[in-house]
Structure 1
Amino acid sequence: MKLTDISRQLATAFAAVGVSGLVLVGCNNSSAPEANQEPVTEGATAETTASTSDIDPEHTKIVIGTTEGDFADMVRNQVKGTLEAQGYEVELVAFTDYVRPNLALAEGDLDINIFQHKPYLDTFKKENNLDLVEVFQVPTAPLGIYSGKKSSLDEAFKGMSVSAPNDPSNFARALVMMNDLGWIKLKDGIDPLTASKADIADNSKYDIDIVELEAAQLPRARDEVDFAVINGNYATDSGIKLTEALFQEPSFAYVNWSAIKSADTGKKWVEDVTNAYNSEAFKKYAHETFPGYKYPKIWGSDTSASIDTAAKTDSTETVETEAAAQ
């Protein structure tokens, strides 16, 4: 299956189910590790200052849940100070898995979480019967293929091992990337959002041993495989630069979203958090701090400079489907 075929199917799939892209995320039925609950700080640290009368009088403390890494840093370094300057108390809870953040949100332990793309959110809330809804997009590090024992795509060989995230959503993305590179061939007509090993039509060219690992383990296991498909947030959290990627997924369909309980839709505190993430100060911070990321569509700006993957493949075609408006 050619990249152009996959791209058309992605566009069709997203339009059909009304999804827009949101890095990261996986389904894992194992017990989740405890989250890191950070203390509330006193005083305002952001440039913006405002009277406490500007806050939601019925919701003066906001508990934000993220995965550890770039999303947590966005809160620590920018959003937290902006909201505290406005008069809110802000608490960050950082998780090391993709399961607890949605469960904690649904259970009321969080007010909002920020860590997942919309296909994952849609699947997770359906499987777990959760009443959650997306609110706004955030800068997102794309999925990439990084060096392991081999340092160049030209070193691909028959029998090589490639690690990939074991959650269904990101594993499907990894398969599409390998298809784009010509490493494997996916069946014609498959849904790229749900691609699995069963959808591989031909793996004979390289006879790849696909090693499935939890996303957080992928950076640490690079030395054990020839190439590693790593989620962007875990790459940056482990000190890997996105510009070191040997190949990045060309699709813009997985820009991440925030999520809240449906009952909180339209509340002032939600509007204030949304504004903090879309402020000019945050945009400036994001552009300076996260090179290689994809940015929210609503910003109306080009993505930050990313590596030139076009030179590494015979052809690339970007899917920029952004259904399901905010």
Structure 2
Amino acid sequence: MNTRRTLLVAALAAAVSFSAHAKDPKELVIGTSSGPYADQLKLGIKPILEKQGYKVKLVEFNDYIQPNFALAEGSLDANVFQHIIYLNKFSTDHKLALSELIKIPTAPIAIYSKKHKSLNEVKDGTTIALPNDPTNQARALVLLDQQGWIKLREKTDPLKASERDIAAYNKKIKLLPLEAAQLPRSLQDVDFAFINGNYAVASGLKLKDSLLREKISPAYANLVAIRTADKDKQFAKDIAAAYRSREFLELTNKYFTDYAKTDYQLALEK
């Protein structure tokens, strides 16, 4: 582990006054990204768990790196910010024993613009910002291919598409990879930007104002991640039950109407 990561995780542990090896089993620390997934926890999941006697502490992160390290090292009991493609790759790359607990209602990645009212306004020299992490960049490239702005090579895996897989530019566009958290701010400088739903909402953008939204596949539905060793513990079962509850479904319908619902929520509605 590098020094920077050690200091960050130590600071987080101190901030939440938490010891992974000697804590009340009814105390939970959940990490999340600022925006809709934090709001889902604050408005829905935390109150449900607190009714069951849990004391829940939420810790918000502004990147996609530290939450998984903090979870693996015991500073968090769960985190909520990523999809299974990202979780599996990150866990494999860093040799972390993390697993999916349950999928959650998810805000789609979408194209936004402050300079254009339509995707038809694309022209030679148009600048397009997109995520620089491999899994989310693949989502953006697939949408660009579907839109006809680029052509991906035949047999390209849509879950692993990269700029190397671009066979042709049907529009002479310029792609600008940026960290996902920086994409909302890039709207001042670029023509269009692909922005993850959580960062879009956190920055004040509305999903309904996007120019194009992906249709979320199960691979890109966000999830609750926990340490693999904790999958059968009671707190994990209670977190999953809170998301599956009718109470949380009602909150989703009230505050997160443009989000892709989960299979268990769609089943409840039937």
TM over 0.5, shorter chain:
yes
Structure 1: stretches of 5+ with no match in the other structure? 1-28, 41-56, 304-326
Match of 2:182 among 192, 217, 221: 217
The aligned residue for residue 224 of structure 2 is 258
TM-score by length of 1: 0.74
Greater alpha carbon shift after TM alignment, 94-103 vs 253-262:
253-262
SS of 1:274's partner is: helix
SS of 1:122's partner is: helix
SS of 2:188's partner is: helix
Provide the C-alpha distance between the structure 2 equivalents of 1:112 and 1:62, rounded to a whole number of angstroms. Answer: 8
Q: What residue identity is the alignment partner of 1:60?
A: K
Change (3 A) 1:176 1:95: same
2:216, 2:260 within 8 Å by CA — same for their partners in 1?
no
1:242, 1:291 within 8 Å by CA — same for their partners in 2?
no
Change (3 A) 1:144 1:34: farther
Provide the C-alpha distance between the structure 1 equivalents of 2:93 and 2:180, rounded to a whole number of angstroms. Answer: 20
The aligned residue for residue 207 of structure 1 is 172
Provide the C-alpha distance between the structure 2 equivalents of 1:300 and 1:238, rounded to a whole number of angstroms. Answer: 28
The aligned residue for residue 146 of structure 2 is 180
How many residues of Structure 1 are paired with residues of Structure 2 in the alignment? 257
Cα deviation for residue 39 of structure 1 reads: 7.2
Percent identity, aligned pairs only?
44
Match of 1:171 among 123, 126, 137: 137
Deviating 4+ runs (over 3 angstroms): 31-40
1:165, 1:214 within 8 Å by CA — same for their partners in 2?
yes
Provide the C-alpha distance between the structure 1 equivalents of 2:141 and 2:82, rounded to a whole number of angstroms. Answer: 19
Show the 5 A alignment for 1:155-304.
Answer: 155-203=121-169, 205-253=170-218, 254-301=220-267
Provide the C-alpha distance between the structure 2 equivalents of 1:77 and 1:274, rounded to a whole number of angstroms. Answer: 16
1:133-185 Cα deviation digits (max 9, x unpaired): 10101111000011132221110111210000111100111000000100100
1:94-139 Cα deviation digits (max 9, x unpaired): 1000001110000000001111100000000000000111010111
Change (3 A) 1:250 1:244: same
1:148, 1:228 within 8 Å by CA — same for their partners in 2?
no
Q: What residue identity is the alignment partner of 2:130?
A: A
TM-score by length of 2: 0.89
Provide the C-alpha distance between the structure 1 equivalents of 2:60 and 2:197, rounded to a whole number of angstroms. Answer: 17
RMSD: 2.3
1:252, 1:294 within 8 Å by CA — same for their partners in 2?
no
Show the 5 A alignment for 1:58-137.
Answer: 59-137=25-103
Q: What residue identity is the alignment partner of 2:182?
A: Q
Provide the C-alpha distance between the structure 2 equivalents of 1:251 and 1:111, rounded to a whole number of angstroms. Answer: 27
Structure 2: stretches of 5+ with no match in the other structure? 18-22
2:27, 2:54 within 8 Å by CA — same for their partners in 1?
yes
Greater helix proportion: 2
1:135, 1:259 within 8 Å by CA — same for their partners in 2?
yes
SS of 1:140's partner is: coil
